[in-house]
Structure 1
Amino acid sequence: MNKIAFLFPGQGTQYEGMLDDLPQTTLTSSLLERAQNRLGHDPLLLDDKEHINTSVGTQLSLFIKGVVLEAHLEEEKIYPHVVAGHSIGSFAAAVAAKVLSFEDGLHIVKKRAELMDNVGGEDYGMGVIVGVNKEKLVHIVASVHSETTPVYIANENAEDQYTVSGKRIGIEVVLEKARKQGASKAKFLNMTVPSHCPLMNDVGKTLFGELEKCTISDPAVPFIGNKRARPLQTGSAVKEDLAFNVSHPVLWHNCSTIMKELGVKLFVEMAPGHVLVDLIKRKYPEGHFFPLSSFSLDDVLFLVKKYKSK
């Protein structure tokens, strides 16, 4: 039987009204009611024009959408053998793995977003670089980084795709140097938060303290951690990864390798977007990829049932 991975995307895939196309079912209504009770307001307001580009609106919308879609797959007896999320996506993955309750996840995700906003501002941000290998990028970043221009390699998404994080003044120089050294893309991301770098160390420490107050269970299926790109089998290991992935690079390229080594052949990515399956497909073209942003829920249910027994 082919193994199935459930994937949960990170920030950058959000859009206004992204919660409007959730399945119109009793299960959706129940989960949205639980979210309203925990948050104290209608969760469907999170993705409106006013809120979707805030950290709180974006991160909670992604979390809620991922949990709701995954719950519908489980309702149809489609269960993952492995779960993985990119950055904020890790929290929905933790709910899917039965590590964290939906309610605790809502609290932690909101807290995470608020703490991140306290670090960020117009002087900070992130950039993406494509077409430069890691060795070359390490050299570029080292030549720019200083106390006044802190800049770090953040996420390692593919062999030739990285993000950098820190002060915009430093990132701008890194992007320019990368272009001169052959990068096919080097541009700022639409973010004012320096995620996945040491500037977020205090956020990680505070989040760990908040997670200590939550009920944490051992994962029902392997949870692929962001920090070390390893399958985590204990609740304490997942808790540590959830808290500190904000201050460490997401090693998504290595996560993809681990999933392949675990025998995963079916990849279901929760909406919105299809970034994660696109990255995996580049190195694992023989897999089967079903992003819920491109397929209907019914189509994914049919295709997964068709391929999982082959």
Structure 2
Amino acid sequence: MAKIAFIYPGQGAQKPGMGKDFYENSELAKAVYDKASELLQIDMKALCFEENEKLDLTEYTQAALVTTCLAMTKVVEERGLKPDVTAGLSLGEYCAISVAGGMKEEDAISLVRKRGILMQNTVPAGEGAMAAILGMDASVIEEGIKDLEGVTVANYNCPGQIVITGETKAVEKAAEILKEAGAKRAVLLNVSGPFHSPMLKQAGEELAKEMEKVEMEPLQIPYVTNVTAEYVTDIRETKKLLAEQVAASVRWQESVERMIAEGVDTFVEIGPGKTLAGFLRKIDRSVKVYNIGTWEDVDKVVLELTV
């Protein structure tokens, strides 16, 4: 019997029109969007379905993406496909926790709205940056930046793709050093801040205060945390981990490897884009990977995995 993981993308996967077909075809999905609009006093239909500049602003992106992924998941689960474990890349971890039963949808959406605002506003524009380092081992990158102040690893995505983060000048200098040391490419990312950097520690502390207002629920299934790449079965650990996650490295490759070690052989990426599927193919090509990002995908994937 296949063990299935539902996995959720992070910021950067968003695109205009995401989830519109779910909204139009499912009352369950429609209810998620409508509830989010009411909760946040934001027109989520306009934000997610139409071309607009707000969708790529962190303070809006996070709520839009989580709302979309949760709406899609409602449809998938209604069709009878359920996960044995969940995980999400950075922002996607909020979807993973909600789908695992640990957090009400409305709390996940409200929290990521606050998280997005905190992450966007904690570091003044221009002072922080991120860069993707391609074609270089993590250990070589760590060695290459260890003596540089103000730069750390943000994401361990997959073999050959590591993201660094920190002070703008330090990230730019690190990118040059790593290119000279043999990286295939070092690409500065179009982001509004140094995400998953110690520079965002204050944002994590402020988020912890917001989480005190949220009541967590017992987990129905485990999820895997970005911070340690371990299974979480006790919801009492979650608030601390989410507060740490803002400034900590995202251990995505280890998270996937941990799930595979626990018997997961089927991964279903739910949400726009196929970023995580791409990472998975570089981590372990032996596992099955599916994407659900459109209404048409639902029938195809559910039929294959539930027959």
TM-score by length of 2: 0.94
Aligned residue for 2:54? Answer: 51
Q: Which amino acid aligns with 1:72?
A: V
| C-alpha displacement of 1:245 | 0.8
| C-alpha displacement of 1:123 | 2.5
| Distance in 2 of aligned mates of 1:286 and 1:135 | 25
Aligned residue for 2:128? Answer: 124
SS in structure 2 of the partner of residue 144 of structure 1 = coil
Structure 2 residue runs of 5 or longer lacking an equivalent are: none
Q: Which amino acid aligns with 1:2?
A: A
| C-alpha displacement of 1:160 | 2.8
Q: Which moved more, 1:196-205 or 1:234-243?
A: 234-243
Check conservation: 1:123, 1:192, Cα contact below 8 A: no
Kindly provide the CA deviation profile for residues 144-165 of structure 1, in whole angstroms up to 9, marking residues without a partner as x.
32xxxx1111111123321111
| Distance in 1 of aligned mates of 2:76 and 2:131 | 34
| Distance in 2 of aligned mates of 1:287 and 1:245 | 27
For residues 7-86 of structure 1, the aligned pairs below 5 Å read 7-23=7-23, 24-47=25-48, 48-86=51-89
| Distance in 2 of aligned mates of 1:191 and 1:272 | 18
Aligned residue for 2:148? Answer: 144
| Distance in 2 of aligned mates of 1:302 and 1:64 | 25
Q: Which moved more, 1:214-223 or 1:130-139?
A: 130-139
Aligned residue for 1:251? Answer: 251
Check conservation: 1:18, 1:61, Cα contact below 8 A: no
| C-alpha displacement of 1:218 | 2.2
Count how many residue pairs are aligned between Structure 1 and Structure 2: 302
Aligned residue for 1:101? Answer: 104
Check conservation: 1:45, 1:51, Cα contact below 8 A: no
Q: Which amino acid aligns with 2:173?
A: V
Q: Which amino acid aligns with 2:181?
A: Q
| Distance in 1 of aligned mates of 2:169 and 2:73 | 40
SS in structure 2 of the partner of residue 22 of structure 1 = helix
Percentage identity across aligned positions?
28
| Distance in 2 of aligned mates of 1:70 and 1:243 | 25
| C-alpha displacement of 1:107 | 1.2
Kindly provide the CA deviation profile for residues 58-99 of structure 1, in whole angstroms up to 9, marking residues without a partner as x.
111110111011111111121100000000000111110111
SS in structure 2 of the partner of residue 214 of structure 1 = coil
Structure 1 residue runs of 5 or longer lacking an equivalent are: none
Kindly provide the CA deviation profile for residues 22-75 of structure 1, in whole angstroms up to 9, marking residues without a partner as x.
352111221122112211232123234121111122111110111011111111
Q: Which amino acid aligns with 1:36?
A: S
SS in structure 2 of the partner of residue 77 of structure 1 = coil
| C-alpha displacement of 1:167 | 1.6
Aligned residue for 1:197? Answer: 197
| Distance in 2 of aligned mates of 1:15 and 1:42 | 16
| Distance in 2 of aligned mates of 1:17 and 1:73 | 19
Q: Which moved more, 1:26-35 or 1:42-51?
A: 42-51
Check conservation: 1:125, 1:167, Cα contact below 8 A: yes
| Distance in 1 of aligned mates of 2:216 and 2:207 | 14
**Aligned CA-pair RMSD:** 1.5
| C-alpha displacement of 1:285 | 1.4
| Distance in 2 of aligned mates of 1:32 and 1:226 | 26
| Distance in 2 of aligned mates of 1:44 and 1:142 | 45
Kindly provide the CA deviation profile for residues 112-162 of structure 1, in whole angstroms up to 9, marking residues without a partner as x.
0111111231221211001122222122212332xxxx1111111123321
TM-score by length of 1: 0.93
| C-alpha displacement of 1:262 | 1.2
